[in-house]
Structure 1
């Protein structure tokens, strides 16, 4: 018995010595590598120990998110916002207790103006449907004011697109395909689709990148494809085309987009055939003529003189020549890969550009003709309600629906290592995203946003969200007091030469 114990102890001692020796040898090898390499000054000056700097830098993002950041501190979306989406997706109770944790004092904070006589639930109606493209052969009666924004197949995984397609059908909202073309997975759920035509014309392109009318007609032949959106720019990359790393361009994505497999997919920074406002309106008219369906544009506003030029040209040609909708994106980032200088510093945020766009359309008496879709960091009911007050007819969200799919804001969208399977084409990581489970959460999230915006509308004394206006919200100023939104952005008068009453509509 004693001999057996001594034998085991001897073996353990031997293993310990061997492991210790291997550890010392490993440290010596690392020491030699560090003092001889010239790429990293910290490791050269502090061999072995200097390696921990990289490790801690990598782990810092994780620790800040889960242990150190307060509920309202994180960027681009804080924990309180993400948890609201998570609970909404699960259909859980979303009430809170003991007062708001949101700081309501910073300048720019929106405060909705409650009515002393709010609308009774028995007096309210469901949000009215809105018709887009009354001048097209096949107008679209959109059932929901809250919809899924553009996220391409390629940027998103197969199970993610499947879940969004089925979830959109359950919720009764549309799904924008993004610029990556129309995949079978978009069609699978049976939801309404908005086909986006990016600068590379993925899915409807000739080999040289120009528009192929036959492929455009083939896409339009799908009854589910209800509208076409011509993308001029987006929030993540204003002034630059889409970026899909080569690691994500597998055979299926290459076939759907019409590009080489395994090579980075980088779109031109604009449509080569659109050089001015006249050519933009010509292109819109061409796409609408070929497809017969409502056709609009998507853009981030920086320079805005072109908007006035476009409106004047529309009135010269006739209001039928106008885009059927304008999807306005904010200049503060997006879901995809993008250069940091563009994501951080180029393009106006919605809080400035949305009321400006609405007012320009109003000034030229085109506000009713061109529907406005607001897109850009709209993931909570308050942010969606503000957009409607500012002038939007519809609100699109991308990252809100990503959170409903299980996104944890790991900030790996541009890599192929998304831990939740949302933005990766690694089959092992995709396995964690079950479309049958997530489609319900997608639908719940959409329905809860719509319901909560209706709650805000009722509190403000109107029957449904599209009756909200700038008079229903106040904006906190640097002084700490708030100012009515309609005083900050008063509606301009309609220019006399463009008044519909003068019948100058072409």
Structure 2
């Protein structure tokens, strides 16, 4: 080959290599610039806590989550096999909180023939939209305190203490509760400024350590109690005797979460583990409990109740007898029944796994006992424990609950991904941590809307179930609307296991009659 031709080819090859290298450098530069833009975008966006706390890397979560939908059916667990909340349950909450489509396609993945599964009995002629009625308001403490509390909302936020969850989480819950018209329970950690700032209704919880209303010796301070009651937003007071995840064990807050502010609000030393007593030293009997209810109601002039998880149930008879002996003004205005499968930030596994009754058993038992002692109208019942989807809330109403409260459902609405880091200071979504680098991922202005969306969408779908059963509103659901699958896989009416002993309130009797007339007209 002539030398000049070879030189030309070499020059061309050198030129190609030169431009290829240049293009490679430009491509690398473009990729780096693109990643930098994504990094900045993730840092500045406010909708996704994982991406905000872990720029770029956090995006892989959504990619793998998407792939998981396809891989799980071949290699991994199905949607309903994860614990404590399966992917199907969590996905509904996420969609409801984002106010996007909550419908599904193809068919149910729920086992419809497993023992104790719940089935609602639909009516041949469902309630039409024009025949539906607004949810009736229920009043707590009417006639027994100066400031009773009324609410037509059936679904509210259960106790989550400031300290156990973060400042932005409390701010988002408070603002979301205000927007949705529901109450927020403070948990046993006291009243923080962040509970108050949005103006929502609050239930102040008094735990065994009496954080926020204690004196230097740890006893109930009437002065502090009056100060809390003076806030018009504080609508009710709840004495926490026990909770489902740790019956017989008080609150546990690791020292790493006891910041100066948390310590000041609770009235405890900074940086030290906050371990509540496993019971109230001044409440050791039914009469002690009723004395405390009367005392707090006298000081606050607001409704007072107590929260407990049911184990042995003999005390329910003692309670009914004591109230009739002492008079109805000694009764609690409400009882919150927590489930053995309730949640918490930290608890011994032996208590979480093995102690207490689940709500499926305890709720009908409590409602029936109150009816037996003719106290059902006097004492309202609040159901708590692992109810994050519409069906669980509808079941509780059927059994006899007046209200349903949830904590973990609203944690999912805030962005919780069930990382199971609640007992540490490392929550990746900023919900249960005081690490400012992790908290920045949870932007209250965005998450408060999700809290409100979740509450409204759940209550709407409970109404959808009610209308399918042929009643006009959610509170008109009864036990006869529910069947349970027995051990043979055969549906049986809930009333076979738990006959309905509760007298129907007048407003529901009227609603029943109107529903019946509507059915006849439609037929």
Runs of 4+ in 1 over 4 A off after TM superposition: 63-67
Residue 64 and residue 237 in structure 1: after superposition, are their counterparts in 2 closer, same or farther (change >3 A)? farther
1:230 has 2:245 as partner: no
Which structure 1 residue ranges, 5 or more long, are not aligned? 1-62, 495-506
The 3-state SS of whatever aligns with 2:424 is: coil
2:342/2:384 contact within 8 Å kept: no
Deviation of 1:491 after TM superposition, in Å, equals: 3.3
1:388/1:466 contact within 8 Å kept: yes
How far apart, CA to CA, are the structure 1 residues paired with 2:273 and 2:502?
Answer: 48
1:404 has 2:409 as partner: no
Partner of 1:467: 476
Q: 1:116 aligns with which of 124, 131, 136?
A: 124
How far apart, CA to CA, are the structure 2 residues paired with 1:425 and 1:120?
Answer: 49
1:93 has 2:105 as partner: no
Q: 1:413 aligns with which of 407, 422, 426?
A: 422
Count, aligned residues: 433
TM-score w.r.t. the length of structure 2 is: 0.81
1:75 has 2:87 as partner: no
How far apart, CA to CA, are the structure 2 residues paired with 1:475 and 1:249?
Answer: 45
Partner of 1:60: none
Deviation of 1:484 after TM superposition, in Å, equals: 0.3
Residue 119 and residue 441 in structure 1: after superposition, are their counterparts in 2 closer, same or farther (change >3 A)? same
Deviation of 1:207 after TM superposition, in Å, equals: 1.4
**484-493 or 386-395, larger mean C-alpha shift:** 484-493
The 3-state SS of whatever aligns with 1:368 is: coil
Partner of 1:318: 327
2:413/2:451 contact within 8 Å kept: yes
Which structure 2 residue ranges, 5 or more long, are not aligned? 1-66, 504-523
2:479/2:500 contact within 8 Å kept: no
The 3-state SS of whatever aligns with 1:483 is: strand
Residue 200 and residue 102 in structure 1: after superposition, are their counterparts in 2 closer, same or farther (change >3 A)? same
How far apart, CA to CA, are the structure 1 residues paired with 2:222 and 2:112?
Answer: 52
Q: 1:329 aligns with which of 333, 338, 343?
A: 338
Q: 1:383 aligns with which of 382, 392, 408?
A: 392
**63-72 or 458-467, larger mean C-alpha shift:** 63-72
Q: Please list, as runs of the form range in 1=range in 2, the aligned pairs for 1:156-167 lying within 5 A after superposition.
A: 156-167=165-176
How far apart, CA to CA, are the structure 2 residues paired with 1:407 and 1:332?
Answer: 18
Partner of 2:358: 349
The 3-state SS of whatever aligns with 1:451 is: helix
1:129 has 2:141 as partner: no
1:236/1:336 contact within 8 Å kept: no
Per-residue displacement from partner, 1:123-172 (whole Å, max 9, x unpaired)?
11111111000111100012311000000000000000000000000000
Deviation of 1:474 after TM superposition, in Å, equals: 0.2
Deviation of 1:371 after TM superposition, in Å, equals: 0.4
Residue 493 and residue 197 in structure 1: after superposition, are their counterparts in 2 closer, same or farther (change >3 A)? closer
Q: Please list, as runs of the form range in 1=range in 2, the aligned pairs for 1:350-369 lying within 5 A after superposition.
A: 350-369=359-378
How far apart, CA to CA, are the structure 2 residues paired with 1:432 and 1:235?
Answer: 30
The 3-state SS of whatever aligns with 1:442 is: helix
Deviation of 1:312 after TM superposition, in Å, equals: 0.7
Per-residue displacement from partner, 1:415-453 (whole Å, max 9, x unpaired)?
100000000000000000000000000000000000000
Per-residue displacement from partner, 1:38-89 (whole Å, max 9, x unpaired)?
xxxxxxxxxxxxxxxxxxxxxxxxx999963211100110001101000000
The 3-state SS of whatever aligns with 1:417 is: coil
Q: Please list, as runs of the form range in 1=range in 2, the aligned pairs for 1:80-229 lying within 5 A after superposition.
A: 80-134=88-142, 135-229=144-238
The 3-state SS of whatever aligns with 2:412 is: helix
RMSD value, Cα: 1.5
How far apart, CA to CA, are the structure 2 residues paired with 1:304 and 1:471?
Answer: 25
Per-residue displacement from partner, 1:448-498 (whole Å, max 9, x unpaired)?
00000000001101111111110000000111111100111013599xxxx
Partner of 1:14: none
Per-residue displacement from partner, 1:20-53 (whole Å, max 9, x unpaired)?
xxxxxxxxxxxxxxxxxxxxxxxxxxxxxxxxxx
Residue 428 and residue 284 in structure 1: after superposition, are their counterparts in 2 closer, same or farther (change >3 A)? same
1:333/1:344 contact within 8 Å kept: no
